[in-house]
Structure 1
Amino acid sequence: MLARIADRVSSGVQRYIPDAFVIAVLLTLFTFLVGFLTNPTEPISLFKSFGDGFWVYLTFTMQMVLLLLTGMVLAAVPVVKKGLGSLASLASTPKKAYVLTFVVTALAYYINWGLAVVVGAILVREVGKRNQNAHFPLLVAAAYSPTVLYTAGLSSSIGLTVATKDHFLADVMGIIPTSETIFHPSTIIIFAVLLITMPIFICFMAPKTNIKPYVEKEVPKKKGNDIEHADSPALKLERTPILGIVTGAIGLVYVVNEFMIGRDLDLNIINILFLSLGLILHRSLGQFGNAFKEAASSTSPIILQFPFYAGIIAVLTSSGLGQAIIDGMISVANKETFDVFTYWTAGLVNILAPSGGGQWALQGPLQVPAGMQLGVDPASIAMAVGWGDAWTNLIQPFWALPILSIVGLHIRHIMGYCFLLAIWVGVVTTVLLFFLY
C-alpha cells in the first residue's frame, strides 16, 4: 500500500513541482509579499535587506562548489572508482541498494555533513550503475534523506555553537557541553530510531513496476589532439606526475598539522584534503584539470541559487516574519510541549531559511529565553531547533542541490518520496521529543 501511495505522490509531484530555481524565486517573492504585509510602512527596507543579504553566502557557495568538484575529481581516480565499485557491488538487490546507500551516507553525515554530500552522491551513482533494477530516484532519495541525522552528528552546527566559549547566547544560556546535546542519551535514541526505521520506510516505498534505472550523464568528447606536440616541454609538464605529487603533499602536511593542533573537521579542511589527494592520485596535472572541467557543469545550480536563499533569510529577519512565526508558536506552548512546538517552528522557518547556523541566530535569541522562563532545559531547546532545521531539509531544495547536480536529476524526481519521509520523520521525532525531553 505504501508503494502505491508513494508512486501516486511521486507522479503528482513530478507534474506540479517546478525546477529548484523556480522554487527559490517563488520563495523569494512569497517572502517579499508577506514581508510587505507584516511591515507595510517601510517597504524599501525589504529591498535593501535582500540586496545586502544576497552576497552573504559567497564564501559558503564557493566552499560547496569546491566540495563537489574536489570530491568528484577524487572519485574519478581509478583506485577510488574501483573501491566505490566494490562497495556498490554489495547492493545485489534493490532493497540492499536502498539500505546500503542510506546507511553509508548516514554514517558519513554523522562524521561530517560536508563529507556526506559527496559520499552520498558518488555512492548512489555507482550503486545505480550496478543495480539497474533499483528505482534510481528513490535511490537518490535514500542518499539524500540522512540529512535529517546531521544535527546529532559530529558537525552539528547548533550543538557545536552552544558548546563554544563566548558564543552569542552564552550570557543567556551559558556554555552547553556536547554531553548535553549531541551526545545526550535522548539525542542518541532519536538518531538510532531514525537510522533503523527510515531505510525500512524507504524499502516499503519501492515501486513494484515502472523501474526508472540510472542513466549515465553524457560527457562531451574533446576535439583535436596533441599528438604532433607530444614531446614539447609544455606537454611534458602537463603529463608528469611529479608536480601533482609534490603539491598534494604540501596540502596533506597542512591537514595533518591542523589535526595535530586540535582543529575540527570543517569544509575548508575537507576541501584541501580532497584537493591534495586528487593531485597525488591523478597521473598528471593535465588529467586532474580535465577531470575538473568535466565536473564543473554540476555546480551551476549551486552558484545560481544559493545567493537567492541568502537574500530570503535577510528579508525574513528584517521584515519580522521570522519573529512572528516563532512568537506565534511560543504563545501556545507550555513546559511539557515547548520542545515539540520549538521543533515544529524550526521546521517551518527552515523552509524559508535553510541554514542551521543562520536559523539558530534568528530563532535562538527568541526561543531560549522564552523556554527558560517556563523552566525548559536550554540544551533541549537547542536540539529541538536542530532537529526541526534538519527535518524539513527533506522538502527544501537548498540542500538537495549538490546531489541532484551530480546525478543529473531534478528536485521533482525525488520530492514525492522525500515528502512521505518527512511525514514519517516528523511524527517519530515529535513523539520522541515529547517523551524524552
Structure 2
Amino acid sequence: MLTRMADRFSKLVERYLPDAFVIAVLMTLFVFVAGFFMKPSEPVELFKSFGDGFWVYLAFTMQMVLLLMTGMALASVPSVQRILEKLSSKAKTANQAYVLTFLVSSAAYYINWGLAVVVGAIIAREVGKRNQGAHFPLLVAAAYAPTALYTAGLSSSIGLTVATKGHFLEEAAGVIPTSETIFHPGTIAILLALVVTMPIFIVLMAPKKGIISYVPPKTSKQEAEQQEILKTPAGKLERTPFLGIITGLIGLIYVIFEFVNGRDLDLNIINITFLSLGLILHKSLVQYANAFKEAGSAISPIILQFPFYAGIIAVLGSSGVAESIINGMTSIASKDTFDIFTYWTAGLVNILAPSGGGQWALQGPLQVPAGLHLGVDPAITAMAVGWGDAWTNLIQPFWALPILSVVGLHIRHIMGYCALLAIWVGIVTTVLMFFVY
C-alpha cells in the first residue's frame, strides 16, 4: 500500500512541483499578500522591511556558505571518496542500498550537514552504480532524508548559535551549553528513534516496477594538470602539500587552544576545523581551490535564494504574520505541551523561511519569553524550534539543491518520497517530544 501511495504521490509531485527558485519567488509574493492583509495601512513598511532584510543575514549567510563549502571540499578528498566507494560495495540488494545510503548520509549529517551534502550525493551515486535494481530517485531521497536529523548533530545552527557567547538572546536565555541542547538525552532519544524507523519507511516505499537506475553522466576526459607547469617553480609551489599542511595545522592548533580554554562548539569553530582538515588532506592548495570551486557551483542556488528567504523572514516579522502564527499556537499550549506546539509552529514557519539560524532570529524572541512564562527551559524551546526547522526541510526544496546538483536530478524527482517521510517524522517526533523533554 505504501509503495503504491509513494508511486502515485511521486508522479503527482513530478507533474506539478515547479523549480525551487520559482517556489522562493512565489513564497515572497505570498508573504507580501499576507502582510498587506495584516497591515493594510502600512504597505510601504513591507517593501522597506523586505529590502532591509535582504542583507540582514549577510554575515550568517557567509557562515552557512562556508559551512557547506568546507564540508563539501573535505568530502571530495580522494581518500574520503575511496572510503565511500568501499562502503557502497557493501549493499548487495536494492533494499540494502536504500538502508546503507540513509545510514551513511545520517552519519555525515550528524558530523556536519555541509559535509553530508557531498557524502550523501557520492554514496547515492556509488550505490546506484552497483545496484541497477535500486530506484535512483529514492536513493537520492534516502541520502537527503537525514536533513530531518541535523538539528541533533554537531553543526546544528540553533544549538551552536545559543552556545556562542554574545548571541542575540543571551540576555533572556543565557549562553546554553550543547550538553543541554544537542547532547540532551531527549535529543539523542529522538535521533535514535528516527535513525531506526526512517530507513524502514524508505524500504516500504520502494517501487516494484518502473525502476529508474543510475545513469553515469557523459563527460569528456581532460587532463587535470599541465605537466609543463609542474616544471616551473610556480607550478611546484602550487602543488606542494607542504603549504596546505602547515596552514591547516595552524588552524587546528587554534581550535585545540580554544577548546582547552573552555570554548564550546559554534559555527566559527566548525568552519575553521573543516577548512583546516581540508587543507591538510588535499594534496595541494590548487587541489583544494578546485574542490572549493566545484562546491561553489553546487551551492550557487542557495546563494541566489538565501537573500530572498531573508527578505521573507523580515516581512514575516514586520507584518506580524509570524507573530500571529506563533502566538496563535503558543496561546493554547501548557508547560507540558509548549515544546510540541513550538515544534509544529517551527515546521510551519520553516516552509516560508528555511534557515535554522534565520528562523531562530525570528522565532526565538517570541518563543523564549513565552516559554519562560510557562516555566519551560530555553534550551528545550531552542531544540523544539530546531526539530521543527529540520522536519519540514523534507518538503522545503531549498536545502536539497546542492545534493541534486551533484547527482543531476530535479527536486520534483525526490519530493514525493520526502513528503511522505515528513509525515512519518512529524508523528514520531511529536509523540516522543511529549515524553523526553
Tell me, what secondary structure is at the counterpart of 2:121?
helix
Matched residues, number: 437
CA distance in 2, matches of 1:181, 1:291: 33
Greater mean alpha carbon deviation, residues 49-58 or residues 75-84 = 75-84
Partner Cα distance (1:17, 1:324) in 2: 28
SS in structure 2 opposite 1:132?
coil
Identify the residue that residue 427 of structure 2 maps to in structure 1.
427
User: AA paired with 1:303?
Assistant: I
Alpha-carbon displacement from aligned partner over 1:99-136 (angstroms, at most 9, x marks no partner): 22222322333334344334333333333333333222
SS of alignment partner, residue 56 of structure 2: coil
Question: Equivalents in 2 of 1:161, 1:331: separation in Å?
Answer: 26
Amino acid at match of 1:365: P
Give the superposition deviation at 1:305.
Answer: 1.1
Q: 1:393 — aligned with what?
A: 393
The gaps in structure 1 that reach 5 residues or longer are none
Task: Give the distance between the partners of 1:255 and 1:163, measured in 2 at CA.
Answer: 16
Distance 1:186 1:147 in 2: 18
Sort the Cα spacing of 1:399 and 1:286 in 2 relative to 1 into closer, same or farther, 3 A. Answer: closer
Deviations 1:357-410 (A, max 9, x none): 332332233233334444555544333222222211111122222222222222
TM (norm. structure 1) is: 0.87
Q: Which amino acid aligns with 1:125?
A: R
Aligned to 1:87: 87
Q: Residues 121 and 403 of structure 1 are in contact (CA less than 8 Å); yes or no, is this contact kept in structure 2?
A: yes
Change (3 A) 1:221 1:280: same
Q: Residue type matched to 1:108 in 2?
A: A
- Higher deviation after alignment, 53-62 or 95-104: 53-62
Secondary structure at 1:54 match in 2: helix
Structure 1 residues 238-275: Cα deviation after superposition (integer angstroms, max 9, x where no partner): 44444444444444444444444444444444444444
Aligned position for 1:54 = 54
Any conservation in 2 of the 1:19–1:411 contact (CA below 8 Å)?
yes
- What value does the CA root-mean-square deviation take over the aligned residues? 3.1
CA distance in 2, matches of 1:184, 1:281: 33
Residue 190 (structure 2) aligns with: 190
Structure 1 residue aligned with 2:361: 361
The answer to whether the 8 Å contact 1:251/1:272 transfers is: yes
2: CA distance, partners of 1:229 / 1:179: 51
Q: Hey, what's the Cα distance between the residues in 2 that align with 1:104 and 1:181?
A: 23
Find the counterpart in structure 2 of residue 109 from structure 1: 109
Q: Does the 8 Å CA contact 1:349/1:359 hold for their aligned counterparts? A: yes
User: How big is the shift at 1:315?
Assistant: 1.0
> 1:127: which partner in 2?
127
Residues 287, 220 of structure 1: CA spacing in aligned structure 2 closer, same or farther, 3 A cutoff? farther
Q: In 1, Cα distance between the equivalents of 2:49 and 2:288? A: 41
Cα gap change, 1:434/1:405 in structure 2, threshold over 3 Å: closer, same or farther? Answer: same
Cα distance change of structure 1 residues 77 and 358 upon mapping to structure 2, 3 Å threshold: closer
- Is the CA contact 1:112–1:265 (under 8 Å) kept in the aligned structure 2? no
Cα displacement string for residues 12-57 of structure 1 (whole angstroms, at most 9, x for unaligned residues): 1011111111111111111111111111111111111111111234
| C-alpha separation in 2, matches of 1:434 and 1:37 | 35
SS of the equivalent of 1:324 reads: helix
The amino acid across from 2:43 in the alignment is: P
1:38-53 correspondence to structure 2 within 5 Å: 38-53=38-53
* 1:218 Cα deviation from its structure 2 partner: 4.9
**Which range moved further: 304-313 or 226-235?**
226-235
Partners in 1 of 2:53 and 2:144 — Cα distance?
A: 27
Kindly provide the amino acid, as one letter, of the partner of residue 319 in structure 1: S
Separation of aligned partners in 2, 1:286 and 1:235? 10
Per-residue deviation, residues 319-344 of structure 1 (Å, max 9, x unmatched): 11100111222233344443322221
Distance 2:171 2:225 in 1: 65
Whole-Å separation in 2 of the counterparts to 1:374 and 1:270: 34
Partner of residue 298, structure 1: 298
Retained in 2: the 8 A contact 1:25–1:308? yes
Q: Distance in 2 between matches of 1:286 and 1:63?
A: 23
Which has the larger displacement, 163-172 or 312-321? 163-172
- Partner SS, residue 55 of structure 2: coil
Q: Determine the structure 2 residue equivalent to 1:208.
A: 208
Asked if 2 retains the 8 angstrom alpha-carbon contact of 1:99 and 1:199, the reply is yes
Contact 1:312 1:353 in 2 (8 A): yes
Q: Which moved more, 1:395-404 or 1:9-18?
A: 395-404
- Give the match for residue 140 of structure 1: 140
- TM-score, normalised to structure 2, is 0.87
For residues 160-181 of structure 1, the C-alpha deviation after alignment (integer angstroms, 9 at most, x for no partner) is 5555666554555566555554
One-letter amino acid of the structure 2 residue matched with residue 359 of structure 1: Q
CA distance in 2, matches of 1:111, 1:201: 23
* Partners of 1:115 and 1:270 within 8 A in 2: no
Q: Secondary structure at the match of 1:322?
A: helix
Distance 1:303 1:44 in 2: 27
Tell me if structure 1 keeps the 8 A contact 2:160–2:265.
Answer: no
> Does the 8 Å CA contact 1:72/1:122 hold for their aligned counterparts?
no
- Checking the alignment, whether the CA contact within 8 Å between 1:24 and 1:305 is kept in structure 2 is yes
Contact 2:69 2:296 in 1 (8 A): yes
**Inter-partner Cα distance in structure 2 for 1:214 and 1:60:** 36
Q: Which runs of 5+ in 2 are unaligned?
A: none
Give the letter aligned to residue 32 of structure 1: F
